Amino acid sequence: MGDGEVTVRLTGDEALVLSHWLEKVQMTDLSRVVDDPAVWVAIHRIAGTLDKELPGLFASDYDQRLEAARQRLRPED
1 pLDDT tier (thresholds 50, 70, 90): low
C-beta of residue 59 within 8 angstroms of C-beta of residue 65: yes
- Convert the pLDDT of each residue in 27-38 to its tens digit: 887 777 788 889
pTM score, two decimals?
0.83
Q: How many CA atoms lie within 13 A of 3 on its CB side?
A: 0
